[in-house]
Structure 1
Amino acid sequence: MYHVLKEELILEDGDSIRFFPRYGGYSPIQSGFSLGISPEPVKDGKVKTESGGLTFFVEEEDLWYFDGHDLEIRFEEKKAEPTFHYHK
């Protein structure tokens, strides 16, 4: 999965990806919003984890979107893309 993200978003080891709410689209946890991702540096990184040479994070102002859910990212080999799953 990491090599696909690195290729598509033009990232290198040590870079970071922010998860944030976007207005519009579909989300199983927040009506009228969807999950956005953006390669950018960590500001306060209230929640963050490192994997595959990348740091994945959520800023404090965006925690409301997750409503107490954990985000799990899986890689769909057939589609060659990540899928996002929320767990309470």
Structure 2
Amino acid sequence: MQIQVSDAASQWFRDELALQSGDAVRFFGKVYGQTAVHDGFSLGMECATVEQPIGSVVKDGITYFASQSDEWFFADYDLQVDYDPELEEPKYQFERR
């Protein structure tokens, strides 16, 4: 699994979560909601310690990752994280591998 984080999304995460170099953000599947590829599940994120990553990227000193426990959610997909200026929040796109 590959994760890409745009410059604008990275800035949003650093500003909104008060992240500093060396911190990490975990993406995970959670019950309820919907994504473009999951019905009944949505994408969550939290500040966390990197553990058993199945995909990760370091951007501006921050590690963005998904862990092995969420492999079911990301199976067959890469994750692109961008920023939506109209909604003033991140937007997520799943790309089939």
Matched, 1:37 2:45: yes
Matched, 1:67 2:67: no
Count residues with an aligned counterpart: 88
- Aligned-residue sequence identity (percent) comes to 28
* Cα pair 1:27 1:33 within 8 Å, conserved: yes
Question: Runs of 5+ in structure 2 lacking a partner?
Answer: 1-7
RMSD value, Cα: 1.3
Matched, 1:53 2:61: yes
* Cα pair 1:29 1:67 within 8 Å, conserved: no
Query: What TM-score does the superposition give when structure 2 sets the normalisation length?
Result: 0.81
Question: Runs of 5+ in structure 1 lacking a partner?
Answer: none
Looking at structure 2, the residues matched to 7 and 81 of structure 1 have their Cα atoms a distance apart, in angstroms, of 11
Matched, 1:27 2:35: yes
* Cα pair 2:13 2:19 within 8 Å, conserved: yes
Offset from partner CA, 1:48-85 (integer Å, 9 cap, x none): 11112210111111011123111111122343321100
Match of 2:45, SS? Answer: strand
Query: What TM-score does the superposition give when structure 1 sets the normalisation length?
Result: 0.89
Aligned to 2:20: 12
Shift of 1:23: 0.5
Looking at structure 2, the residues matched to 32 and 74 of structure 1 have their Cα atoms a distance apart, in angstroms, of 22
| Displaced runs of 4 or more, over 4 A | none
User: Higher relative CO (CA 8 A, sep ≥ 6), structure 1 or 2?
Assistant: 2
Aligned to 2:90: 82
